[in-house]
Structure 1
Amino acid sequence: MEIKPIVDCKTVLGEGPLWDVETQKIHWIDSLGNRIFRADENGNGVESWSVPANIGSMALRKDGGAVLSLADGFYLFDFETGKSELLHRISHAGPTVRLNDGKVDKRGRFVAGSMDTTEEAPLGVLYSLGTDHKVTQIDDHITVSNGPCWSPDHKIFYFADSRSRAIWTYDYDLDTGAVANKRKFCDFGPEDGLPDGATVDAEGCVWSAGVYKSKIHRFDPSGKRMQVIDMPVVCVASVMFGGPALDRLYVTCMLRAPVPGVVETGPLAGSLFVIDGLGVKGLPEYRFGG
């Protein structure tokens, strides 16, 4: 196994690595720097775009461009013009709430949740943005929404409320996008960090960034921890498989922690990393159908 930084981008809050199988490009975001990045599989030819607010997540669209969860709502984004167009504004429960992590299901829905930026109050909501651009609330009472992803058959939805120190699973109705039967998938102890961005590999195992403790965790479908990777940065934020064979794990991290009591040090903070030699493959990400 080899861990190496490939882009010294110094993202304040690096999130959302997203591999596009069509263009063979890796995308990622800086949530607090209000930026989108794109590069080839080795981090060469970096391009970047500004967005008008804090960005929680991004997914590519079937018809080109992207869908974004910005602080105040869902937007469509055009890479050619760099323009962000408001699609649906979200009425949050308070001024400290913004949209955060999101991904697309097999039917093209964009599922994203909100978070309390003080990471203290359960003011967040989990939303599903349909291909018809209608927004449905599917869960609430969440402090920090993170790590949405699905089992390979899309019958199980995984989701982390980071401050609960747990990843949760739901039964997922692919026809309607509804969730049911919420239960705990796994716990994160004090030395594991908090569950942050996540992905599911081709074997159905869940990979989760253990933010604030330099960890990446792999869990089998029963929730048993199978592997822990120690990273050279403290604030590991998200993970995603990519590369031509989908066997490279891309990792984003933070330049500095957004919460008190955590100190990030070293010249690699905020870089985009890739991990090779894991012997595991990921699954292609779906595109937003709206």
Structure 2
Amino acid sequence: MLKSPHIEVLLDVKTTLGEGPVWDAESQRLHWIDSADGRIFRSTHDGRELRSWHVGEPIGSMAVSRDGSFFLAALKSGLHRIDAASGEQELLVDPEPDLPNNRLNDGKVDRQGRFIFGSMDTLEEQASGRLYSFTPEGQLSTLDEGIVVSNGPCFSPDGRTLYFSDTWTGLIWSYDYDPSTGAATNRRTFATVDTSTGGAADGATVDADGYLWQALVYGGKIIRYAPDGSVDRIVETPVLKVTSLAFGGPEMDTLFITSMAKPPLPRFPEDGQQRGSLFAVSGLGVRGLPEPRFGA
């Protein structure tokens, strides 16, 4: 039975556009980013040992490498390898050199070590974005296209269903995902997002029971969807602009939530004093799944 949650500010780092939390079970560290300011953060589950890396440009998502020596980072200029010790950067591939108004956005690693990530139009108007797969061997492929703002890629517990959102469609999609080839096929609507409060689909994760959790950005809510796409639970959050979420901690039962301190465009709402904080939610009675590292 689900319990009543307790929500607290773990770190008041005032991220301009906090995003992409990733709990690395091997190192027992939480990673997250400031997408607008170009920073990667890392801390313990209780907010100690805070460290950050400046990457010099907007960042959409990141993953920890198999041996932990580098981050794979989706920057505006392409996928980069960032050395965890020195901070040195190496461009691996630029998927969209012909689309200067696009940038790379949300991403997750599949169970086989591929990085699944999307791109977006920075004005959030044109359907110029795509959904990509990048293998540890360096092969880039396109999984889907015609996307305005790519968000929320995540996988079912068996790794055979890929979930993904184009934020302003109001839809969460699911695909049949082939773990052996990395192909995503048979796109269909998994759930329709309730945008009546002004919120929209943002980052997402799947728990150990196969339920999808999604941040309703600008709506100040976290929505838990059952495997059949029905709304199972709604958690109200202290700020409107919650952006993404990840389960982690020693028992994988803490839900970490990122938020933004400043909206990216003038038409989006401002927020309260806790805007830009990293939140920790306990007492949910739910456990998450460890996220894979990037690499073979």
- What TM-score comes out, normalization by structure 1 length? 0.98
2:158 aligned with 1:153: yes
Find the partner of 2:177 among 147, 172, 176: 172
What's the % identity of the aligned pairs? 48
2:74 aligns to what? Answer: 69
Residues 1:57 and 2:61 aligned together: yes
Q: In 1, Cα distance between the equivalents of 2:156 and 2:198?
A: 23
CA RMSD of aligned residues (A): 1.1
SS at match of 2:265: coil
What is the deviation of 1:192?
6.5
Structure 2 counterpart of 1:238, which letter?
A: S
What CA distance in whole angstroms lies between the structure 2 residues aligned with 1:56 and 1:239? 14
Given the alignment of the two structures, is residue 258 of structure 1 paired with residue 257 of structure 2, yes or no?
no
- Tell me the residue number matched to 1:224: 230
1:192–1:215 CA contact under 8 A, matched in 2 = no
Other-structure match for 1:37: 41
Structure 1 runs not aligned, ≥5 long: none
Looking at structure 1, the residues matched to 115 and 253 of structure 2 have their Cα atoms a distance apart, in angstroms, of 24
- Write the letter of the residue equivalent to 1:269: R
Secondary structure at the residue paired with 2:168?
helix
Partner residue in 2 for 1:249:
255
SS of the residue aligned with 1:163?
A: helix
Counterparts of 1:1-290 in structure 2, within 5 Å, are 1-64=5-68, 65-92=70-97, 94-189=99-194, 190-191=196-197, 193-289=199-295
Q: Deviations over 1:166-221 (max 9, x none)?
A: 11000001111001100001111222711100000000000000000101000001
Report if the CA contact (8 A) 1:9-1:272 is conserved.
yes
**Post-superposition shift, 1:131?**
1.3
Moved over 4 A (4+): none
Say whether the 8 Å CA contact 1:160–1:168 is kept in structure 2. yes
| Counterpart residue identity of residue 267, structure 1 | Q
The letter of the residue matching 1:18 is V
Measure, in 2, the Cα distance between the counterparts of 1:260 and 1:192.
15
Contact 2:241 2:271 in 1 (8 A): no
User: Residue type of the partner of 2:292?
Assistant: Y
Amino acid in the other structure paired with 1:139: D
Query: Deviations for 1:219-267, whole angstroms, at most 9, x for unmatched residues?
Result: 0011000011111111100000000000000000000111333222222
Residue 92 of structure 1 deviates from its aligned partner by 4.7
Structure 2: state its 5+ residue gaps: none
Contact in 2 for aligned 1:93/1:123 (Cα 8 Å): no
Q: Is the 8 A contact 1:29 1:57 kept in 2?
A: yes
Kept after mapping to 2: 8 A contact 1:241/1:249: yes
Letter in structure 1 aligned against 2:211? C
**Higher mean C-alpha deviation, range 85-94 or range 49-58:** 85-94
8 Å contact from structure 1 (residues 52, 84) kept in 2: no
State the TM-score, normalizing by the size of structure 2: 0.96
Say if 1:67 and 1:77, in contact at 8 Å, map to a contact too.
yes
